[in-house]
Amino acid sequence: MVEVQRFYFDHNATTPVSPAVLEVLVPALLEVYGNASSIHQHGQMAKQKLEIARRQVAGLIACDPKDLVFLSGGTEADNLAILGTVRANLASRKHVITTTIEHPAVLNTCRQLEREGVEVSYVRTGSDGVVDPADIHHALRPETILISVMHANNELGAIQPIREIAALAREAGILFHADGVQAAGKIPVDVKALGVDLYSISGHKFHAPKGIGALYVKHGTRLGPIQFGGRHERERRPGTENVPGAVALGQAAASAIENLATETARLAALRDRLETGILERLPACGVNAGRSPRTPNTTNVFFDGLEGEAMVISLDLKGFAVSSGSACSSGAVEPSHVLLAIGLSRERARASLRFSLGHSNTEEQVDALIDAVAESAAHLRKLSPTYTASV
């Protein structure tokens, strides 16, 4: 039996740990085992490594290192940003604004706030997957205390007008959180220039291991803990720090900074090559939110008359890993909430695939993927009564 050669096109779900990160991670696991809160030499070595990593990660988003909190990843960062600020606000009436295309880590946290008596407004986007700052402004109330809008969408790659929304928030005296999990390491990020008060990142989205991330908290921002224990991370996140994870995240950040300009251009060219190849080979397909400003590595394509899950399985059998939506929502019966939110029908939402490219992908792999997509779609459409009826 011939072994299928495998190619990975699902980097928005997670990325492989890079050789450069692995090179610093293994020694940190073996040698830097002290508790960073201990005063002996082993502890102080761990503390030193932790603070070096903090400076490296701060460089990725252009913030002051002391404003960076290490934690377990994007979901915890979003939870701490939203719950920590809203619960710390002493007002009796509380209101939060977010969008309908946010990651479940934000949407489900907002639903928890609703259970706690907080009102939440979910602002819709247009068909381009981009929220209009005017709609955010229209949703403002006297009791609004937080706006949370993602920097880049995980399914579409659509980049949101963070700077404009931050200006609105600042003028109204409202805190602004941006989920930057799909932006950091892919596009330039300067949290001070953007004007955000809180910004979430996750290491496994740019070649660090799973289980490490960070939250930027602008100096002076009132933030209550959502976990309770020791006084770690300047009393913002209790628990013994994951020093090897932080070291790995620091190296991943340093590598991202070094390669950002060239890799951004390379990935954008590969993404465009992929889109063009698919659209030239297949009828009744198109790019969702394809005219929007997007992260360079992401495209979301609909294939009318097909089931996205069937395409995922067919491509996997051919050796290509792709996605029909957010990995955090896999197994859900419902179609993507993001695609429904931008106005797609349930049928077209179910017929959409996300391709997210990364460092390992090449032109040859992209061309092979185009062939595999064309073959899989043609085969599945022959079996599809929905597609037969539509042509």
What is the chain's length? 391
Pairing label, strands 198-202, 68-71 = unpaired
| 328 included as an active-site residue | yes
CB neighbours of residue 352 within 10 Å: 28
Q: Which are the contacts of 270, defined by CB distance < 8 A and separation ≥ 6?
A: 297, 357, 361, 362, 363, 366
Give the CA-trace dihedral at 339, 340, 342, 344, to 10 degrees.
90
Q: Which two tokens stand for residue 3?
A: 């072994």
Catalytic residue among 63, 110, 285, 328: 328
With vertex at residue 325, the alpha carbon angle to CA 78 and CA 18, rounded to the nearest 5 degrees, is 70
Q: Which residues contact 26 (CB under 8 A, 6 or more apart)?
A: none
Write down the H helix ranges in the chain: 19-31, 41-61, 74-88, 104-115, 133-139, 162-172, 191-194, 232-235, 243-281, 308-317, 337-341, 346-350, 363-382, 385-390
- Between CA 115 and CA 107 the distance in angstroms is 13
Catalytic (active-site) positions:
328
